[in-house]
Amino acid sequence: MIVRNRCHSRPFFRFMLFGRLHSSGEPVQDSSDVTKRVCKIMMSCPKLGLDTVLDQSGIRVSEEVAEKVLERFENAGMLAHRFFEWAGKQRNYEHTVRAYHTMIESMAKIRQYEIMWDLVNAMRGKGMLNIETFCIIMRKYARAQKVDEAVYTFNIMKKYDVPPNLAAFNGLLSALCKSKNVRKAQEIFDTMKNDQFCPDPKSYSILIEGWGRAPNLPKAREIFNEMVDSGCKPDIVTYGIMVDILCKAGRTDEAVGVMNEMELRGCEPTSFIYSVLIHTYGIENRIEDGIDTFLQMERNGVKVDVAVYNSLISAFCKVSKFENAYKVVDEMDKKGVSPNSRTCNILINSLIGRGETDEAFKVFRKLSRLCEPDADTYTMMIKMFCERDELEVAHKVWRYMERKQFAPSLHTFSALINGLCDKGEASRACVLMEEMMERGIRPGRHTFGKLRKLLAKEEREDVAEFLQAKMNLLVKEPLCD
């Protein structure tokens, strides 16, 4: 048996003792303190024993605490759901719309659609459903390439007493376009426009961006012209999208022309537009143009945000001017702009790409003190150390991630499991694989296949069959109404 009941370890008893010291009769604890305590329990205890440990801890969660915990464990679907159900049974507590939405996203992410629709029905019973609920579901179905289900969700909104409006129409178009189903989005747009919904600038902007991503620049231009001809005036978002898709198509000078046109029409370029141009100049090794654009932005009085700084850092990294990139980070600090996980990831990814892994680790340690790493950050670092044959250091990063109460994603789990398999560490890989599935995350085919091959080599087919049976439970994807 692979399962380890970590609730019987020393941390478990420490939580039990700590919990008894804080009975429900005491004054209400600070929400951040309660959130940390709940997260510690969840990180140390499998989902099957979670209810008992939380009950015996004496913790009483507020709506604010529940929202924070669910957001923190969004990647750990079934563990988050266990906490969600436990919290819902507490006295004087009611789930908020935000908590339901986070849970719906979490369940859809691991394709537990039956549970997702159970949550929708629970919201319906409490009169809490709104347009955003269905937009979330449409986005998640579309991302999983379940186009029919995304359209189905839109069509049954009336049945749930939430009649679709223009925002829902735009939500469906956006979901389809972002999942590379722009042709279906265009078909729906052409069928429903004017008869059912009068398109607004957002409707057209979504389609323009979708065709730009296809990529189909002529079609994007066609929709832009159709928008103007219909009397729908392009807004700052529309112009930003046109600049973005032109830059991605390598037509930077044409993008600058659009930027000049919008200024003539009284639309001042936003920080996003400047960010796109700076990033593109970096890709094209036109670093001087990127710097000039950054300085022009400052002269025009547009506030420089973290996205713009990240674009400039990325531009310097593209031409291997890391010292300049570090100076930009220092400049951010002086200007009171905090770096984010994206800042960290740009630098780390660029350094790893150049084989400067020691420097990448230094950047990780430094920036981890200034901003919260995300799943991509941890995944890159773990994968890097696995490739360097430093499994123990990879495990140290993993333990650091757990101490920060960050729930690993599918890719983070896969990075370490693949590294363990490459080194023949079948038992440790199995423990991690089971923990992954305990959290409701279905392993990727490549990762599971690699572990299964290793187990077959060690003549441990019984363990492979056990893991396969557990995975089969996660494969069911019913479309429930």
Q: What does the pLDDT look like over 8-19, one tens digit per residue?
A: 443 333 333 333
- Could you tell me if 455 and 420 are in contact, meaning their C-beta atoms sit under 8 angstroms apart? no
Question: Scanning the structure block, which residue is given the tokens 């209400």?
Answer: 28
pLDDT score at 381: 96
Residue 29 binned pLDDT confidence (cut-offs 50, 70, 90): low
What the block records as the tokens of 22 is 């804080």
pLDDT score at 385: 96
pLDDT score at 67: 94
Rounded to a whole number of angstroms, the distance between the first and last alpha carbons of the chain is 37
Residue 48 binned pLDDT confidence (cut-offs 50, 70, 90): low
pLDDT score at 217: 94
pLDDT score at 59: 87
Residue 429 binned pLDDT confidence (cut-offs 50, 70, 90): very high
pLDDT score at 473: 74
Q: Is it the case that residue 479 has pLDDT exceeding 60?
A: no
Question: Scanning the structure block, which residue is given the tokens 């009941």?
Answer: 5
In 110-229, which residue ranges form alpha helices assigned H by DSSP?
A: 113-125, 131-143, 147-155, 166-178, 182-192, 201-213, 217-229
Average pLDDT over residues 46-63: 83
Which pTM value belongs to this model?
Answer: 0.74
Average pLDDT over residues 437-460: 89
pLDDT score at 195: 84
Residue 334, classified by CB atoms within 10 Å of its CB into exposed (0-12), middle (13-18) or buried (19+), is exposed
Q: Is it the case that residue 312 has pLDDT exceeding 90?
A: yes
- Could you tell me if 358 and 322 are in contact, meaning their C-beta atoms sit under 8 angstroms apart? no
User: Which has the higher per-residue pLDDT, 464 or 117?
Assistant: 117
Distance CA 308, CA 452 (A): 45
> Each residue of 182-199: pLDDT tens digit?
999 999 999 998 888 999
What the block records as the tokens of 302 is 């547009």
> Each residue of 393-422: pLDDT tens digit?
999 999 999 888 888 889 999 999 999 999
pLDDT score at 44: 78
DSSP 55-71: HHHT----HHHHHHHHH
Distances in whole angstroms, Cα of residue 123 to Cα of each of 116, 134, 165, 281: 11, 12, 19, 48
pLDDT score at 46: 62
Average pLDDT over residues 17-46: 64
Lowest mean pLDDT, pick from 103-117, 257-271, 351-365, 461-475: 461-475
Q: Is it the case that residue 60 has pLDDT exceeding 80?
A: yes
Mean pLDDT across the chain: 88
Residue 172, classified by CB atoms within 10 Å of its CB into exposed (0-12), middle (13-18) or buried (19+), is buried
Q: Is it the case that residue 122 has pLDDT exceeding 60?
A: yes
Every domain of the chain and the residues it spans: 1-99, 408-481
